[in-house]
C-alpha cells in the first residue's frame, strides 16, 4: 500500500512566518506571550508551549505592563496597539502581510465611504480573529456577512456598498454573495446608478483558495483520505469538505491516535493532507503511524 503525503498541504506563508518569529524570540528570551492561539492546531500549540509560549487573551492584555506580546498572523484591530502603547508593551508583530495590506485597504475605503454615506461589507466569519481586526479598521462600523448570508437585511441598498472578503473565505461563496448584493442594489437604483453604488474587491488569499482545486484532484487519486486538522480550524473544515465531496472515504483526524485500523482494509493508496494550520511534521507523524498499522510505503 502507498501512503501519499500532500506536499502542498500545511502552513500557509502567514502562519509559517508567525511561528518562525515566535521560535526566534523563544530561543532568545525563553518565554513569549501570544495574543490568542498562534494557529488553530492543538498539537502545534502544545509544541510551542513546551518551548515557552504563553497564550493570553485581550482581558489579560489589559492587565499586563512592560512585557512582550506577539500578534499572530490573523492581525489585530487598532485598539490592541493602543492598549499596548498605554501599557508599555512591546509588540512583536507577526501579522500576515496579506492581512495587513487588506486592513489598510479597508481603512481607506471606510474613510471614503463616510464621505458618501456608504456602507462597507466584509464577507467572513463573525468573531473570527481576522474579522475582528478588519472590522476594527472601520471603528466597528462594517457589516459582516457570513456564508449563510444572514444579516444582509441590515444593509441599506439605497446607499453605496463596498464589499471585501476575509482572506481565507471560499471563492464560490464570495461570488454568490456578490451576485446577491448586485440583485438587491438593482431593485433600489437605476441601471446607470448601479456601477457607482456597488464596488466588489475579491481579497481572498490565492495561496489558500488554490488549495481547494488541488485537493479535489488529490482526493480523487487516493482510495482513502486522512485529513489532519484542528477542530477549531475553519479552513480545515472547508478543505475537508472538499475532500469528502470528491472521495466519500475521507476521514478527519486531529492526531495519530484518532486513526482506525478498519479504514485501511483492502485499499491500495492513502492520501494524507491537512489545513493551512496543520504542521507538516504532524502529517508526517500520522503517515508513519499508518505505516506501523499496515504494510505501506510513504511517498512525500
In Å, how far from its chain's centre is CA 134? 13
Buried b (16+ CB within 10 A) or exposed e, 270-284: bbbbbbbbbbbebbb
Dihedrals phi, psi of 292, to nearest 5 degrees: -75, -25
Cβ-proximal residues to 107 (8 Å cutoff; 6+ apart), any chain:
137, 138
In Å, how far from its chain's centre is CA 221? 26
130 is catalytic: yes
Q: Which of 44, 62, 130, 285 is catalytic?
A: 130
- Name the DSSP class of 89: P
Dihedrals phi, psi of 72, to nearest 5 degrees: -75, 180
Distance CA 167, CA 73 (A): 11
Q: Are 184 and 161 in contact, with CB atoms under 8 Å apart?
A: no
User: Can you state the angle between helices 129-136 and 97-115, rounded to 10 degrees?
Assistant: 40
Coil vs helix vs strand at 85: helix
**β-bridge partners, 56:** 35
- Give the helix ranges, DSSP H, for the chain: 13-29, 42-51, 58-62, 78-86, 97-115, 129-136, 171-186, 191-197, 206-209, 211-221, 234-246, 280-293
Catalytic sites, residue numbers: 130
Amino acid at each position: 500500500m502507498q501512503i501519499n503525503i500532500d506536499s502542498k498541504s500545511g502552513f500557509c506563508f502567514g502562519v509559517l512566518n508567525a511561528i518562525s518569529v515566535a521560535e526566534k524570540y523563544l530561543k532568545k528570551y525563553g518565554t513569549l506571550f501570544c495574543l490568542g492561539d498562534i494557529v488553530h492546531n492543538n498539537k502545534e500549540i502544545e509544541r510551542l508551549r513546551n518551548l515557552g509560549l504563553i497564550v493570553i487573551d485581550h482581558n489579560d492584555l489589559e492587565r499586563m505592563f512592560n512585557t512582550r506580546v506577539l500578534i499572530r498572523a490573523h492581525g489585530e484591530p487598532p485598539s490592541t496597539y493602543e492598549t499596548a502603547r498605554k501599557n508599555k508593551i512591546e509588540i512583536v508583530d507577526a501579522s500576515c502581510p496579506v492581512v495587513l495590506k487588506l486592513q489598510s485597504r479597508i481603512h481607506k475605503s471606510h474613510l471614503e465611504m463616510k464621505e458618501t454615506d456608504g456602507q462597507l461589507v466584509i464577507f467572513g466569519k463573525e468573531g473570527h480573529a481576522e474579522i475582528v481586526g478588519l472590522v476594527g479598521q472601520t471603528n466597528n462600523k462594517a457589516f459582516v456577512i457570513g456564508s449563510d448570508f444572514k444579516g444582509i437585511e441590515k444593509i441599506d441598498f439605497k446607499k453605496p456598498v463596498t464589499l471585501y472578503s476575509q482572506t481565507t473565505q471560499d471563492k464560490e461563496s464570495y461570488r454568490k454573495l456578490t451576485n446577491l448584493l448586485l440583485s438587491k442594489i438593482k431593485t433600489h437604483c437605476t441601471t446607470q446608478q448601479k456601477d457607482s453604488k456597488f464596488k466588489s474587491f475579491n481579497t481572498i488569499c490565492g495561496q489558500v483558495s488554490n488549495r481547494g482545486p488541488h485537493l479535489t484532484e488529490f482526493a480523487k487519486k487516493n482510495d482513502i483520505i486522512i485529513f489532519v486538522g484542528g477542530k477549531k480550524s475553519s479552513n480545515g473544515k472547508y478543505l475537508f469538505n472538499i475532500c469528502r465531496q470528491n472521495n466519500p472515504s475521507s476521514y478527519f483526524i486531529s492526531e495519530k491516535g484518532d486513526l482506525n485500523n478498519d479504514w485501511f482494509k483492502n485499499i491500495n493508496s492513502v492520501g494524507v493532507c491537512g489545513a493551512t494550520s496543520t504542521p507538516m511534521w504532524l502529517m508526517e507523524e500520522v503517515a508513519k503511524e499508518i505505516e506501523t498499522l499496515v504494510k505501506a510505503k510513504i511517498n512525500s
